[in-house]
Amino acid sequence: MKLADLTNGAIVAEELEIAHTAQERHRGLLGRAGLADGHGLLIECCGSIHMFFMKFAIDVVYVTAGLEVVKVVEDLKPWRLSGALWADATVELPVGTIRRSGVAPGHKLELRP
């Protein structure tokens, strides 16, 4: 899947994985050495994340069930916590993606095949 920002026309992620199951959501990006540019992970039913045992920093976009952005966090480093009260899902991206794509609170995102 691709993730696009309908508000500004940017492609946020060319290759977006989706964590559907409880096991996939719990694992997230743990155990990976990094996240390639253009890739990302959408974690469903997730309004907060932890970076315990992570080996790299990420950008995080919190969205509603309708994929409206409620919060963005740039360069979230290992051993930190983050969350957004109204978020239904979390998108984890390589550092620099938020700045490059211009994603911001209030923007509407879209999944594309």
Write down the domain spans for the chain: 2-83+98-112
pLDDT for the residue numbered 31: 85
Note whether 58 and 93 are within 8 A (CB): yes
Share of the chain above pLDDT 70, in %: 100
DSSP 44: E
Note whether 46 and 83 are within 8 A (CB): no
Domain 2-83+98-112: which CATH number of 2.60.120.1140, 2.70.170.10, 2.40.50.1020, 3.40.50.2000: 2.60.120.1140
Note whether 15 and 7 are within 8 A (CB): no
Q: Which residue has the tokens 């469903």?
A: 44
The pLDDT tens digits of the residues spanning 81-97 come to 999 999 999 999 999 99
HSE, CB side, 13 Å, CA atoms: give it for residue 23: 0
